[in-house]
Amino acid sequence: MGIYLNPGNDGFWTSVRSKIYVDKTGLIAYTNELLNTEQKYICVSRPRRFGKSMALKMLAAYYSRGCDSRELFSEWKIKNDRTFEAHRNQYDVIFLNMQHVLIRAGDRSMTDDLEEAVIDELREAYGEYFSEKETVLSAALERIYVNTGKKFIFLIDEWDCVMRERQEAEDFQKQYLDFLHNLLKDQPYVALAYMTGILPVKKYGLHSALNMFWEYSMTDQGFFEEYTGFTEEEVQALCERYGMDFAEAGSWYDGYQFTKFRHIYNPKSVVEAMLRRRFANYWTSTETYDALKIYMDMDFDGLRGDIVQMLGGARVRVNTLSFQNDMQSFRIKDDVLTLLIHLGYLAYDSSKEEAFIPNREIAREFENAMSAGGWAEIMRVLKASERLLEDTLRCEEESVARGLDKAQMEVASILTYNDENSMGCAISLAYYSARKDYKLIRELPAGHGFADVVFLPRPFCSKPALLIELKYEKSADSAIQQIKDRQYMQALEGYSGEILLVGVNYDKNDKNKKHSCVIERFLYER
């Protein structure tokens, strides 16, 4: 057992012995299907602390020659798969943590240092097959393959650390990518190459040096969806085990969605919440909000408006294809938004090509970044939102109208108030504090139309539901009447109890009283 060659099963053994281990061994069945095929090059990118390294430790434990991992996997799903015994501990595995390599190399050449270290370990097992003076890793592996017919599995963690930590060093990046290209592309000794990182494969020039890789990223995880984070069923089981509220767990950590799995939870945060018996910010606390603020403050036309809209519960269209898969080649706002998707600060619905803020934990990080400066007007709206909610619950119509006037004035420099949709964003932002107790739903299909803004109380909240209908240059009374005529109350599936019907009108021609508000109490029983 070595550091790079056949690292064994200690890493996975530590994972399964932890207080919480969620069974993701089904991933092995997928990689077994890809062994020695044209699809054997896999690049899986996802945010930090989303289980990338744990997956590699699992694969190393399963494939590494020289250890017997049958018992280690005996309690998990993969043991029942037809391919389990065929590939278990049958391959030489080369495990590379590029973050460690980069740090250890210091001022020396990272790739030269890596090749020397791996060749030293290969020499102990296969030294008879290549020259003692050999310094090129790919050449040594070729000689081993020619003489023994043995293939290797490459597991590469933090593959993109060079792109993230040496952002200005383009020559260094290109040399590193060329090294990986020479090591892996079209090499007969490769049975499988599985890379993980935060960013997809870097593009440069007309082609990618690693264009043989099949990409699975936060914009399209493909059949790795189930293994990107925790699924709804997995989190529900953990909540039952630890006596935690499942609905609240969803409001804090759910929100990442893909084609098949529409509810993916942040695994780092869920584990900490269960073990600490308290919902709080855990994933975002592993990095300072300055990292997010840098990108939020970039001066691209429309970027600030998009961020404010998403903070207000809206979704924004994003073209993810122009992104160059690095952290400095930004040309348009969509590049910044796409990076935030890969970093985990935004979720992405590929079917609609829309980005959005996934949950309360991430929303709080946006708040923290805004509070550091440059977003004073938005912070004033957020701070006033508690009072606005209290006035609404007390049915103080004049106070609500005045509060909405103030909120509109604050966001006027970022959002243009020109229709009911833009009103919906600003008003959702004005009620920002309500999200502690409510689930915000914009454009909820209801009766014979769509309810503009709905605040549905969470199971632990005893406050009434809020159903807000917006009008532009009409009347607040007509908004209330529309709620009743189109029976929007029926959209609150599973809810019985008091509902506040809130009609809001904005009249840009009324200089003294732009917003008007009517609030009615309604008792809804199913």
Are 70 and 206 in a shared domain?
yes
Is the pLDDT score of 164 beyond 70? yes
Q: Give the integer Cα–Cα distance in Å for 72 and 67.
A: 11
Are 32 and 150 in a shared domain?
yes
Query: pLDDT-derived band of residue 447, with 50, 70 and 90 as boundaries?
Result: low
Are 207 and 269 in a shared domain?
no
Query: pLDDT-derived band of residue 206, with 50, 70 and 90 as boundaries?
Result: very low
Are 54 and 61 in contact by the 8 Å Cβ rule? The answer is no
Query: Among 159, 192, 216, where does a domain finish?
Result: 216
Full 3-state SS string of 469-496? EEEECCCHHHHHHHHHHCCHHHHCCCCC
Q: For the segment 178-197, what is each residue's pLDDT rounded down to a tens digit?
A: 999 999 999 999 999 999 99
Is the pLDDT score of 287 beyond 80? no
Are 366 and 312 in contact by the 8 Å Cβ rule? The answer is no
Are 274 and 392 in a shared domain?
no
Q: Which of 444, 445, 442 is nearest to 429 (CA)?
A: 442
Are 175 and 292 in a shared domain?
no
Query: Among 216, 237, 261, where does a domain finish?
Result: 216
Are 285 and 207 in a shared domain?
no
Are 209 and 233 in a shared domain?
no
SS3 label, residue 215: strand
Based on the number of CB atoms within 10 Å of its own CB, is 127 exposed (0-12), middle (13-18) or buried (19 or more)?
middle
Q: State which H helix or E strand residue 230 sits in.
A: strand 230-231
Read off the tokens for 277: 């018996």
The residues that bridge with 181 in the sheet, in sequence order, are none
Read off the tokens for 491: 């959209």
Are 261 and 208 in a shared domain?
no
Q: Give the integer Cα–Cα distance in Å for 377 and 117.
A: 55
Domain count, the chain: 3
Q: What is the pLDDT of residue 167?
A: 83
Is the pLDDT score of 98 beyond 60? yes
Determine the average pLDDT of the residues in 139-157: 97
Are 185 and 256 in a shared domain?
no
Query: Among 374, 398, 424, where does a domain finish?
Result: 374
Are 272 and 148 in a shared domain?
no
Is the pLDDT score of 207 beyond 60? no
In single-letter form, the type of residue at position 310 comes to: M
Alpha helical stretches, state H, 281-332: 290-296, 303-311
Q: Which residues form the domain of 27?
A: 10-216
Are 334 and 442 in a shared domain?
no
Q: Give the integer Cα–Cα distance in Å for 140 and 131.
A: 8
Q: Give the integer Cα–Cα distance in Å for 359 and 39.
A: 34
The domain that holds 95 is classified in CATH as 3.40.50
Minimum mean pLDDT among 205-219, 259-273, 461-475: which range?
Answer: 205-219
* 73 to 28, 56, 201, 306: CA distances (angstroms): 11, 15, 32, 46
Are 190 and 235 in a shared domain?
no
Percent share of the chain, pLDDT over 90: 74
Q: Give the integer Cα–Cα distance in Å for 58 and 425.
A: 44
pTM for this entry: 0.93
